[in-house]
Chain A
């Protein structure tokens, strides 16, 4: 209840409903989904750019290069299987993210500079 896995629905759909009769040729339903992270420049973090289908990790990096860096957007790429990412549950938003609101004592600006402390 407290977590969901990206791409889980399509995975379940696949394993629970094997195709009847003749095997179908592999389509995107057979290629797993990958999440792509692009670092635009040295010193910055990798930022999530989107997702894609690829048969394996190596091809996922090549596809990411074609889909997400063709306008000179990046200097480095990460790909990760979507099913390997654990996310917070959208339904648990209140519990997860509402509670820090109003707790201004968690911010440095809440505090006054103490007179007795030098070099602060």
Chain B
């Protein structure tokens, strides 16, 4: 305090009222696990399987973040623009944490994994690479993913791998908000105008086929008892919660068959190549550049 130089004693008369150090314009970064902390920590994934699992989680978040960030400056409202940007940045934060951790098993950084892998090396789900479409499509994709990630991270908080548990605990608070955001819009669009309900039904029909992949067990999960969550075990609760939200929104679960997707094995739709081209071009053109 500069007051001490003039010999003034600090005023303690208000110390008993709340947080004495607080001000009406306080801005602090707060404390939370950051990707930089994970990159610095000594702990690496116990084996290759744990690293590959962290890569699954990170790739989903990374591609969803890249898709969502396309809304910036294109949102229907300035306020919604910021909301979608926030969600994109949250997802990017989760991706950075998971990729930083996975990379430690292979001596690679988050940037190596994000910018210098080829399309077939990405293990993300087909749902997250689907185009943004109209606002309803982005909301339906967001609802599907937020419900899924919320249940996944709720369970991963108890993972035997401490780093995955810690990243999940931080991500869970943020996904909690993503879920509420998607739910509030589903309610408003479903019960809004004839046009908004029509667009929501169209978006549900279009994206429903990609939801089956979310619950597909892979041989990798057999190797990770106690560390990973078996995706198929999330299905019942996901269905139940989705049905509840759609019911309240006067929408229905579409009757369209599931699509065959093998994103986890590196088989992607034509969309991912374009996403990666845009995401990776700068880092590849100027390797090692900082800005």
* A contacts, CB < 8 Å to B: 27-28, 31, 40-45, 47, 52-55, 58-59, 62-63, 65-67, 70-73
Contacts and interface: CB of A to CB of B under 8 A. Distances in A.
17 contacts: A28-B78, A40-B23, A40-B24, A40-B25, A41-B18, A41-B22, A41-B26, A45-B24, A53-B78, A53-B79, A58-B184, A66-B79, A66-B86, A67-B79, A70-B86, A71-B27, A72-B28
A72 B27 contact: yes
B36 interface: no
Contact of B83 (A53, A66, A71, A72): A66
Nearest to A47: B24
A67 B85 CA distance: 11
Nearest to A56: B188
A28 B77 contact: yes
Contacts of A62: 83, 180-181, 184
From DSSP, what is the main secondary structure of chain A's interface residues?
loop
Contacts of A70: 86
Contacts of B25: 40, 73
Given A31-B77, A72-B30, A42 B82 contact: no
Nearest to A55: B188
B17 A43 contact: yes
A58 B78 CA distance: 17
Contacts of B19: 41-44
B194 to A, nearest CB: 13
Contacts of A31: 77
B219 interface: no
A65 B87 CA distance: 12
A27 B77 CA distance: 7
Contact of A72 (B18, B29, B79, B181): B29
Contacts of B181: 62
Contacts of A54: 79
Contacts of A27: 77
Interface in B221-237: none
A45 B23 CA distance: 10
Contacts of B28: 72
A102 to B, nearest CB: 29
